[in-house]
């Protein structure tokens, strides 16, 4: 993880489809060592994958909702079952384990408010061990980045 690796990672966070040649030029390397570094970063798990960034609205999911969840119990079985259930529901994009008054924070997408209501009734309420569900609707997105800041 020297300076060049950081440059490479940053360049690929900005444009994940950068060709190896362009990437090499951007970080002042010739293609072959550049490619080798990228492969190493992938193997080490620094780069975990690549993804196309997609407009939610265009895909039919204009609604973003943040859902705070508290569990009724926190024994291992309940927690594991909950987390497995979360993993299986596609509408839940992110799930963070939180400190403070909620246990989990979910980011959920929905085609509309009715769709979200159905999601809560049919999906969330189907999971055992949930004590409370707190919904916060997002009006809009001010910023959505995937580029981590420069270290230091």
Is 33 an interacting residue with respect to DNA (CB under 7 A)? yes
Q: Which of residues 34-53 bind DNA (CB under 7 A)?
A: 35-37
Residue 30 interaction partner, one of DNA, a copy of itself, none, beta carbon < 5-8 Å per kind: DNA
Is 31 an interacting residue with respect to DNA (CB under 7 A)? yes
Alpha-carbon distances, residue 22 vs 17, 19, 40, 49, 142 (angstroms): 10, 5, 18, 19, 30
What are the CB-based long-range contacts (under 8 Å, 24+) for 78-85? 78/128, 78/129, 81/127, 81/128, 81/129, 82/127, 82/128, 82/129, 82/130, 85/126, 85/127
Q: Which is nearer to DNA, 22 or 115 (CB)?
A: 22
Question: Coil, strand, or helix at residue 31?
Answer: helix
Is 3 an interacting residue with respect to a copy of itself (CB under 8 A)? no
Residue 93 interaction partner, one of a copy of itself, DNA, none, beta carbon < 5-8 Å per kind: a copy of itself
Q: Which is nearer to DNA, 29 or 92 (CB)?
A: 29
- Least distance from a copy of itself to the Cβ atom of residue 104, Å: 7
- Site of interaction with DNA (CB under 7 A): 4, 19-22, 29-33, 35-37
């Amino acid at each position: 993880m020297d300076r060049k690796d950081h440059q490479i990672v940053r360049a690929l966070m900005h444009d994940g489809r950068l060709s190896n040649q362009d990437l090499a030029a951007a970080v002042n390397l010739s293609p072959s060592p550049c490619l080798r570094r990228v492969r190493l970063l992938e193997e080490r798990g620094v780069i975990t994958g690549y993804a196309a960034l997609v407009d939610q609205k265009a895909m039919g999911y204009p609604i973003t909702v943040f859902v705070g969840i508290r569990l009724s119990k926190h024994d291992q079985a309940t927690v594991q079952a909950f987390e497995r259930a979360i993993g299986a529901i596609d509408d839940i994009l992110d799930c963070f384990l939180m400190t403070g008054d909620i246990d989990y924070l979910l980011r959920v997408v929905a085609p509309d408010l009715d769709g979200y209501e159905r999601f809560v009734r049919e999906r969330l309420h189907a999971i055992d061990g949930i004590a409370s569900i707190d919904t916060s609707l997002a009006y809009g997105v001010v910023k959505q980045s995937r580029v981590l800041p420069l270290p230091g």
